[in-house]
Amino acid sequence: MSVIDDLRRIREEAQGAIDVAQDESALETLRVRYLGKKGSLALALRGMGQVPPSERPLVGQAVNEARDQVEALLAAAKSRLARAALEAELESTPLDVTLPGRRTALGHRHPLTRTLEDIVAIFQRLGFGVLEGPLIELDFYNFEALNFPKDHPARDMQDTFFVEPESLGALRGRQDVLLRTHTSPVQVRAMLSRRPPLRLIMPGTTFRCDSDPTHSPMFHQVEGLYVDQGVSFADLKGTLDAYAKAMFGDRPTRFRPSYFPFVEPGAEMDMACGVCGGSGQLPGGEPCRTCKASGWVEVMGAGMVHPNVFRACQVDAEKFTGFAFGFGVERIAMNRYGIDDLRLLFENDVRFLEQF
């Protein structure tokens, strides 16, 4: 039974060697030494020749068992080494699972967008719906229907961007296509497409040939329109005063006569200057620059819808009256956030925008 003894000896020796192996390559060397083609087990099998035939099945079984055992020892050692390696790595580079995760930088809304949203929310609370119109307009909506005379300077190339529609389908070749200079054309679209009562706020982008620290060729306005039976100038004052108080706090307002072709009478609403508190003077006695020492700042243009506008928009001026108003959004945002150059709003420099 010397083969059986050999096998036992080989297995014991293998176990001893595997137990002290330090890494995977040492294990691989041992695998070759014991299980390889020229390994110890293969050599032991050569002794089969001397084994009497009746005992061969028994010896064969013993060889298989020895191989299975050595394989199991190798596999166990391999996973022991892997676990030890992992533990060593965790020890050497400690992982603090209580550290906060890496935050994704979140953007936030532009100061103009926030201002516009606040304005819209106030008018929605006052019962106004929201309507938007196209930025590329026809002269009819931007000027004609709003009672601008044919030779009005606003229609001049110096003030208005005219568009030569090469690729605007049906508009191709027309001379009366422009970038809207105000949001007032949306009033016309509203009246032509809906029946009174109308109570709408119409925010949007507007364009004029203008560029300096307080004017940008692209800017934003909010238009308002209220048309119904019996709408009066008192409604105009009450509504706009309520808006000013909600937007700017409890500051006195006043209405001055003014002229816009699409309203009659026309007015401008002023509000007590937020910088000098309406006195026109700064604490040190010097004149307030914000309101040019007048104590008042302009807030918006407004007025009662002109009968000519109703006529162009097919609204019965005998039956309905209405008021309209319009103002710029940039100036409000600048005032609110203390921005002194309007162009900063459109440069999209995140170092600037991050401050709000």
**Which residues of the shown chain bind ligand DAH in the complex (CB under 6 A)?**
182, 184, 223, 260, 263, 301-303, 324-326
The whole-angstrom separation of Cα 339 and Cα 243 is: 22
Least Å distance, CB 111 to ligand DAH, is: 21
Q: Which is nearer to ligand DAH, 73 or 324 (CB)?
A: 324
Going by C-beta distance under 8 Å and a sequence separation of 6 or more, which residues neighbour residue 47?
2, 3, 6
Most distant CA pair in the chain: distance in Å?
Answer: 128
Which one-letter amino acid corresponds to residue 264?
A: E
- Cβ count within 10 A of residue 354: 10
Least Å distance, CB 159 to ligand DAH, is: 11
265-277 b/e (C-beta count within 10 Å ≥ 16 → b): ebbbbbbbbeebe
239-255 b/e (C-beta count within 10 Å ≥ 16 → b): bbbebbeebbeebebeb
Q: Which is nearer to ligand DAH, 224 or 278 (CB)?
A: 224
Least Å distance, CB 277 to ligand DAH, is: 27
Least Å distance, CB 282 to ligand DAH, is: 29
Q: Which is nearer to ligand DAH, 40 or 142 (CB)?
A: 142
Q: Which is nearer to ligand DAH, 129 or 173 (CB)?
A: 129
Least Å distance, CB 171 to ligand DAH, is: 23
Strand order of the sheet with strand 263-272? 129-130, 198-207, 218-228, 321-328, 296-305, 263-272, 253-258
Q: Which is nearer to ligand DAH, 196 or 326 (CB)?
A: 326
Q: Which is nearer to ligand DAH, 67 or 180 (CB)?
A: 180
- Cβ count within 10 A of residue 259: 12
Least Å distance, CB 202 to ligand DAH, is: 9
